[in-house]
Amino acid sequence: MNISVASKSNRLIFTVWLLANTLGFGLVGAGFHNFPLAFTFPPIISQLGGFRLEAAIVGFFFGFIPSLLVGFLQRLILRREWPLSRWWIVSVSVGVGLQHFLADGFENARDLSLAVLLSGLLVGVIQWRLLRPHLPSSAGWIVASGLGWSVGWLIGIAILHNTGLLYRPWVPGLDGQTHGILGLAAGLAYSLSTGLFWMWTLRRQLKA
């Protein structure tokens, strides 16, 4: 393929990647949390040093299930270059689920940085292992994915903190605004970081 044509094609894919992740995370967060759920967190039966186990488990599934859509969109786009495993779809859900697990379990914790950093690292490592068979120089994805993921969620948390939304009581079916803001910020930063790494990788392949 002509290098000029390939570059234009890659820029188009970068734009699609940016939109898919930003809107995907935003819509999943806002849409799912606005859905009229028929349940609330179950009664707290067991606590481990202040950790609300039942709330954490419910929170994990709150994050895991809707995020499958984002993972599906990512794999759909990346398969243009690499025949990625279906486990890629799950990788995003595991990261969002882990964040919810920790954040909802430690309900009174105001500093969510640890949950964000751990989930960002986990997503980066899982996706790197899935990329490695198809892209030998994929180690940089851990940094791109983990950095973009962590920065995005932290920016979203900072916005919620400054607007007072972070401390608003959680209400099933009425929390779409908060999670929509979080999703948009996370999706934008994550897609920029990983998208730039992807563009750099494809440019190297063209020059090789």
Share the mean pLDDT of the chain: 79
Cβ pair 124, 154 in contact under 8 A = no
Q: Which long-range contacts (CB under 8 A, 24 or more apart) does 102-110 make?
A: 102/56, 103/59, 104/41, 104/52, 104/55, 104/56, 104/58, 104/59, 104/60, 104/62, 105/51, 105/52, 105/53, 105/55, 105/56, 105/59, 106/50, 106/51, 106/52, 107/52, 107/55, 108/50, 110/166, 110/167
pTM: 0.79
14-70 pLDDT, tens per residue? 899 999 999 998 888 777 666 554 344 444 444 445 677 887 888 888 889 888 999
What average pLDDT score do residues 98-125 get?
A: 76
Of 88-97, 172-181, 189-198, the poorest mean pLDDT is in 172-181
DSSP letters for 4-58: HHHHHHHHHHHHHHHHHHHHHHHHHHHHHHHS--S--PPP---EETTEEHHHHHH
Q: Would you say 11 and 203 are in contact if contact means Cβ atoms under 8 Å apart?
A: no
**DSSP classification of residue 134:** T
Tokens of 193: 């970081």
Which residues have CB under 8 Å from 122's CB, separation 6+? 94, 95, 98
Which of 37 and 119 is assigned the larger pLDDT? 119
pLDDT tens-digit map of 121-150? 888 888 888 888 887 778 888 899 888 988
Q: What is the pLDDT of residue 44?
A: 43
**Six-digit token string for 122:** 């986990």
Q: Which residues contact 133 (CB under 8 A, 6 or more apart)?
A: none
For residue 55 the two structure tokens come to 């709330």
pLDDT value of residue 20: 92
pLDDT (average), residues 191-206 = 84
